[in-house]
Amino acid sequence: MTARTLYRKLVDAHTVARLDEQNVLLFCDLHLMNEYTSPQAFAGLYAQGRGVPMPGQNVAVVSHIIPTHPTAIRVIADPASARQASNLKKNCDHFHIPLFDTNDALQGIEHVVAPEHGMIRPGMVVICGDSHTTTYGALGTLGFGIGTSEVEHVLATQTLVYRLARDMRIRIDGALPSGTTAKDLVLMIISRIGAQGARGFVVEFCGTTIDAMSIEARFTLCNMAVEAGARGALIAPDPVAVEYVLARAPDIDGGLREAALAHWATLHSDRNATFEIEHRFDATEVPPYVTWGTSPDQAVAITGVVPVAEGAQRASIEQAQRYTSLAAGTPLEGLPVQHVFIGSCTNARIEDLRAVARVVGDRRVAAGVRAMVVPGSGAVRAQAESEGIAARLVRAGFEWRQPGCSMCLAMNDDVLPPGTRCASTTNRNFEGRQGRGAITHLMSPAMAAAAALTGRITDVRKLETLE
C-alpha cells in the first residue's frame, strides 16, 4: 500500500463512493448547525419532502445571534434573530436533532461547545455551516466549513460531495518564548504564507512546538488555518489529544476504549507520505504578533511598524492603511484602543481566560476603555467563575458577559461604533467585521488583556504578570 498522509487516510476512511477524479461521496460523522446558515437548508428539505436519516449525527447550537448581556435568562430582543432561534428549535424538534437552545446552561459558540463535551473524537469527519470548523483538526479530526446548500445535502444524506484537497505540511519546532502563544504563532505563519497561502490545501501541523501545545492552543492554531485559505487543518492525535477526549467522553470505556486507542494510534501520516508543499518555522524567536490591516495576513510583530505600500500587495496595503487610519511606518506598540474584546471560537476557552487573568492580576482596565469578556460557552463561564477568574476580571473593570459569538462578527447587538479601535482575540480583521468603520487588531488573549490595562496596544512581555 502506498504511503498516505493523515488527510488521505481520513478521506479514504469516509469515502462511500468515488464520484469522479476529483470528487468523493464523503460520510460525515458529525454535522454541527447554527441558527443562521441552516434555516434555508431545512426549508429545502420541507420543500422536497426529504427527511434527516441520521439525526443523532447532527447537533445544533444557537450561537451567532444570541445576546451576551449578563442576565440570567436570555431574551433575544431583535425579532428577526428571535425568529431564527425559534425556527431552529422547531426544525430540530421536527427532525429529532439535539439542540443547545438559547437558555441551555451549556450553550455557547458551537466550536467551543462540541469539543468540550467530547463530541469531537479523533478520526471523525465533522462539518458545519461555519468556516472555523477547521478547529477540530486539533484532535486529529477532519473539520471544514460548508455552505447552506451543503448543509441541506448533509442533512438529507449524511454525506457531502467532496472535492479532494491537496496536502501541505507545516512543521514548527522549538519552544515558544514566554509571552507568546499559539495565536501569535498562527498570525506569524499567516503573515508569512499569506491569506491564500494554503488555499486548496489541508494543512497538517507537526513539530516539537505542536507536541508541547495544549489542546486549547491547538484549537487556536487549527481554527485560524482557514485565514490562510486552508480547507482543513490536522494534527495527528497524540496522548495529549487522547487524554483530552477520553476525559470528556465517558461512553468510551472498557473494551471500546481499547478499540478506540488502537484505531487512533493509526491516525498519523505514513513516514514516506508526500506533501505537495512543506513549510518550516522556528518557534523560538516568535514575538507577540498583532494585525495592523484588514486581512489576517496583515500582521507584524508587536515591535514592528505598518509596512510601506509596495509590490504586488500595494493596492491592498494602501486600502488597509486608509481604513485603519495608519500610515506606513507607524509603530503598533502604543496605538490607543477604545475597546477590548476577549472572546470567539479562536480564543475564549478556559485557558485563554486564565491567561487574561494572569496578565490582569490586581490591576484595572484603563480609563476610557470598554473591555468585554465573552466566554466561549456556559461551561467555560462556570469554570472561570469557580476559579475566581470572573471575580478578578469584574474587579478590574471588565464586563463579564454570557457566551456566544458576539463581537467576533457582530451579528448580535455587540457592534462597535465607527472609528473605534479594538484589541480583539478574534480571527478576522475584515473591514466592517466588528461594526462599520470599526478597526480590529487581532492578537492573543494576553496581549488583549495588556491593551485593556494600558489603553494602548502593548507588548505584554513588558508587563509583570502573575505566576
Partner 1 sequence: MTDAAHRHHRIEGIAAPIAIANLDTDQIMPKQFLRGIDKTGLAQGVLWDLRFHGDGSPREDFVLNRPVYAGTRILIADSNFGCGSSREHAVWGLQQYGIDAVIAPSFGEIFYSNAMNNRLLAVMLPEPQVRALLDAALTSAEPLRIDIDVRRLEVRSPLGTSAFALSDRHRTMFVEGLDLIGASLTHQAAIEAFAQRHWAAQPWVRDVARRTKERLDRLSSRPAESQGPVRTKIESSRQHGDHA
How many residues belong to the site for partner 1 (CB under 8 A)? 110
Minimum distance from CB of 72 to partner 1 (Å)? 10
Contact residue for partner 1 among 4, 95, 145, 279 (CB under 8 A): 145
Binding to partner 1 in span 260-279, by CB under 8 A: 260, 263
Q: Does 383 bind partner 1 (CB under 8 A)?
A: no
Contact residue for partner 1 among 70, 175, 196, 466 (CB under 8 A): 196
Closer CB to partner 1, residue 99 or residue 217?
99
Closer CB to partner 1, residue 177 or residue 200?
200
Give the DSSP letter string of 190-231. Answer: HHHH-TTTTTTEEEEEESHHHHT--HHHHHHHHHGGGGGT-S
Contact residue for partner 1 among 4, 69, 95, 157 (CB under 8 A): 157
Mark 351-380 with x for binding to partner 1 (rule: CB under 8 A) and - for no binding: ------------------------------
Sign of CA dihedral 272, 273, 278, 281: negative
Q: Does 123 bind partner 1 (CB under 8 A)?
A: yes
Contact residue for partner 1 among 5, 8, 24, 36 (CB under 8 A): 36
Closest C-alpha to 378, from 118, 100, 34? 100
- One-letter amino acid at 332 equals L
Q: Does 78 bind partner 1 (CB under 8 A)?
A: yes
Closest C-alpha to 230, from 148, 297, 158? 297
419/365 Cα distance (integer angstroms): 20
Contact residue for partner 1 among 218, 428, 442, 452 (CB under 8 A): 428
* Binding window for partner 1 (CB under 8 A); candidates: 156-164, 236-244, 280-288, 327-335: 156-164
Residue 328 CA neighbour count, 13 Å, CB half: 9
Closer CB to partner 1, residue 51 or residue 388?
51
* Binding window for partner 1 (CB under 8 A); candidates: 74-82, 182-190, 234-242, 350-358: 74-82
Closer CB to partner 1, residue 73 or residue 367?
73
Contact residue for partner 1 among 95, 156, 279, 382 (CB under 8 A): 156
Closer CB to partner 1, residue 124 or residue 372?
124
Other CB atoms within 10 A of residue 285 CB: 10
Residues whose CB falls within 8 Å of the CB of residue 344, separated by 6 or more in sequence, listed in order: 109, 374, 376, 405, 406, 408, 424, 425, 426, 427
Minimum distance from CB of 243 to partner 1 (Å)? 16
Contact residue for partner 1 among 1, 251, 254, 272 (CB under 8 A): 251
Other CB atoms within 10 A of residue 96 CB: 11
Minimum distance from CB of 256 to partner 1 (Å)? 6
Parallel/antiparallel/unpaired status of strands 289-291 and 299-301 = antiparallel
Q: Does 249 bind partner 1 (CB under 8 A)?
A: yes
Binding to partner 1 in span 214-233, by CB under 8 A: 229, 231
> What DSSP element (H or E) covers 128?
strand 125-128
Q: Does 58 bind partner 1 (CB under 8 A)?
A: yes
Closer CB to partner 1, residue 229 or residue 445?
229
* Sheet-wide strand order for 370-373: 399-400, 370-373, 339-342, 421-424, 439-442
Other CB atoms within 10 A of residue 308 CB: 12
Q: Does 130 bind partner 1 (CB under 8 A)?
A: yes
Contact residue for partner 1 among 91, 191, 406, 426 (CB under 8 A): 91
Q: What are phi and psi of 67, to 5 degrees?
A: -70, 155
CB 7 within 8 A of CB 232: yes
Phi-psi region of 367 (alpha: psi -120 to 50; beta: other; left: phi over 0): beta
Q: Does 49 bind partner 1 (CB under 8 A)?
A: no
Closer CB to partner 1, residue 45 or residue 449?
45
Closest C-alpha to 435, from 456, 410, 454? 410
Contact residue for partner 1 among 3, 46, 280, 325 (CB under 8 A): 46
Closer CB to partner 1, residue 16 or residue 175?
16
Contact residue for partner 1 among 95, 106, 270, 394 (CB under 8 A): 106
Q: Which residues of 249-269 are buried (b: 16+ CB within 10 A; e: fewer)?
A: beebeeeeeeebeeebeebbb
CB 458 within 8 A of CB 451: yes
Minimum distance from CB of 58 to partner 1 (Å)? 6
Minimum distance from CB of 217 to partner 1 (Å)? 23
Q: Does 295 bind partner 1 (CB under 8 A)?
A: yes
- Cell numbers found for residue 449: 488583556
